[in-house]
Amino acid sequence: MVIRNKKIGNGSIFFVYLFILSNLLIAIKYTIAQQDHVYQSCSGDNYTTGSTFQANLNRLFPSSIQNRYYNATVGQSPDTVYGSLQCRGDIQQDECQSCVDFAIQDFNKTGRCPNSKQAIIWYEKCMIRYSNEYYFNRMQENPGISLLNVNNVSNPDQFNRILGELMNGLVLQATSTSSTNFAAGNRNITDLAKLYGLVQCTADIPSSNCNRCLLKAVSELPQGKRGGRVIKPSCNIRYELGDPFFESAPSPPPPLSSPTPPSSTNALVPNGNRNNSSKLTISIVVPSVVAVLFAIAFGFFCFQRKRQQIKKYTYADDEAPVTAESLQFNFSTISAATNNFSEANKLGEGGFGSVYKGTLPDRREIAVKRLSKYSGQGDQEFKNEFTLVAKLQHRNLVQLVGFSMAGEEKLIIYEFMPNGSLDQILFDPIKCTQLDWDRRYKIIAGVARGLVYLHEESRLKIIHRDLKASNILLDMDMNPKIADFGMARLFVHDQTQERTSKIVGTYGYMAPEYIMHGHFSVKSDVFSFGVLILEILCGQKNSSFHQSSGAQDLLSYVWRRWNNGSATEILDPTLKDTFSRVEVLRCIHVALLCVQEEVEDRPTMPTVVQMLNSYSATDPALPLAPAFFIGSTVNMEPQSNLGYSEEQGSSKNESVTSEVATGSVNEVTISELDPR
């Protein structure tokens, strides 16, 4: 800046420099904060610009927060917006406020997650979140992200051991001694190198849920890398080798230094001394400003250097937060959870291997399927196929918790179902009394909803291909959950059917077109569902059904009773007179439509759900004789009986694998041993 022909007083010079400095500080602050953006997740439906929802969103976040956490609710349904802000537990209140200020400004100006009704945006020191669904006090693990430093450590075995000790210790500290669900610390790797770690949960969830979230995150950390972090909606963890990325302890900010104000006598200095006074002021102010600018430049250089380190991180799949890395458990963790796969923990055994009950360190109960060592599937294929199915989320599907691999060992981890599989109760002469009519009807309706999700509503169109009583698991309240996707096939959404050269499934549940020609579609699952309904009503297996009334199979027996007007006589005798006649007749009607021989005569699953929910009007479609009915054109016997499958201790089922043509293709979504 060049100033000519004008004398500027010392106060003016000071304010000129102050103006330049403040603008430079603002620019640098914005640049640094911009780089602090770590990750964002946008989901849910879109809201309309100018809508009530947007107006509520604009009113959601405050100008300041206290205690590093804030949440609020604005508006009424259906335009209610829930939101929260949280800062990292080690930073000071003013840093927290600065991060929050920028986060709100950045969100409004950059258009992150435009028009999304759900968003989570993570910055280096704070997080901003909002949703049209209530999420306070609820632990959530998805969507999440895993990042890793691409540089390896020199001694991975020693490093991984110390990393595990550090992070597990921090989890214990955060959930047992801290009211803020936060902990940070370090461990020595060598005399010259330290490992730093940090764990934190959102302030609204209880310590038990925090413990569960953090332990899951720890199990997903990369092994043998110089740095890594896992970020989830309810918790996040991070570690770095040699980089103290957090503050040792929150402390009050130091007092800001400022130039000594001019003495009151300066105003009375004679004119002859004013030039000397101006020179003195400039000689004080200019070096001070230069020193401040030098400090800023040095800080910016350090930030750029750290930024280069951060750039070494690799993101997991941003578009699909459910990744193989986010689902993988250490084999030692699962081995310890199942007491080294002890016989006392075994729930069942089948052609794929064995199923064991386990308990994770956070006391969550799991069921672990230990696949046979001779499945022949590669590690990457196993990861990819598991990740695919893990994206299926529905209350009537068994939740896949994760997987683990170690050499030839491959484990699939499910949520544990306390009541086991449906066949264990339904076909047991004593336990079946637990299934009154209301529970049986609820199971039928729940399985139907699960199939609608698989066929129509999920991002993936899935044909299960092995729907049967042993693959329906029951939770604590007897709610049904479809399990075992070992034979499932993925369809594109406009695909209607496919042909396979290998028939896999369970005799008694397979549709005729599948057995005869290898053709399968959503209607193949519909057929299996019809058989399942009849088994639930009768309390008997289709594959081992025997009656003296001339019907040698369950389908023929029910059809005869339906035709002569005595349909309710097929019911399990334990139901007695406690059932609803209207609901029973509706279920039999639906089941007979589902097991029609011709594919086009069977309803789709959305139609099935609609029929099950309608009790008054008689549906126009009346069932014909079912497939495999004595006298029907099709009466197939299984070509082989090579094994059986179990799920969490289910009983044996006659599974069949047969070839209908030469050649082979990959027939499964999650590969398991054939024969089943």
Q: Tens digits of per-residue pLDDT, 448-459?
A: 999 999 998 887
Whether the pLDDT of residue 105 is over 70: the answer is: yes
165 contact partners, CB below 8 Å, separation of at least 6 = 187
> What value does the mean pLDDT take over residues 352-361?
86
Cis peptide leading into 78, omega within 30 of 0?
A: yes
Q: Tens digits of per-residue pLDDT, 192-246?
A: 788 999 999 998 888 888 888 898 888 888 778 888 889 999 999 999 988 788 8
Whether the pLDDT of residue 5 is over 50: the answer is: no
436 catalytic? Reply is: no
Q: 67 φ, ψ to 5°? A: 60, 25
**DSSP-assigned beta bridge partners for residue 480:** 474
Which pLDDT does position 318 carry in this prediction?
34
> What value does the mean pLDDT take over residues 61-85?
86
Q: Which of 90, 106, 466, 572 is catalytic?
A: 466
The listed range with the strongest mean pLDDT (145-154, 468-477, 542-551) is 468-477
Q: Tens digits of per-residue pLDDT, 263-311?
A: 333 333 333 333 444 444 445 555 555 565 666 655 555 544 444 443 3
Distance in angstroms (rounded) separating the CA atoms of residues 499 and 359: 41
Whether the pLDDT of residue 74 is over 80: the answer is: yes
Name which of 184, 175, 521 is nearest 363 in CA terms.
175
- Pick the more confident residue, 635 or 509: 509
> What value does the mean pLDDT take over residues 104-120?
81
Percent of the chain with pLDDT over 70: 68
Distance in angstroms (rounded) separating the CA atoms of residues 602 and 592: 9
Whether the pLDDT of residue 27 is over 50: the answer is: no
- Pick the more confident residue, 536 or 458: 536
189 contacts 124 by C-beta, under 8 angstroms: no
Which pLDDT does position 201 carry in this prediction?
92
Which pLDDT does position 673 carry in this prediction?
29
Distance in angstroms (rounded) separating the CA atoms of residues 42 and 113: 5
> What value does the mean pLDDT take over residues 10-39?
50
Name which of 627, 425, 611, 610 is nearest 509 in CA terms.
627
Which pLDDT does position 111 carry in this prediction?
67
Whether the pLDDT of residue 346 is over 80: the answer is: yes
pTM of the model: 0.49
Distance in angstroms (rounded) separating the CA atoms of residues 658 and 665: 14
Distance in angstroms (rounded) separating the CA atoms of residues 507 and 448: 21
Where residue 675 falls among pLDDT bands split at 50, 70, 90?
Answer: very low
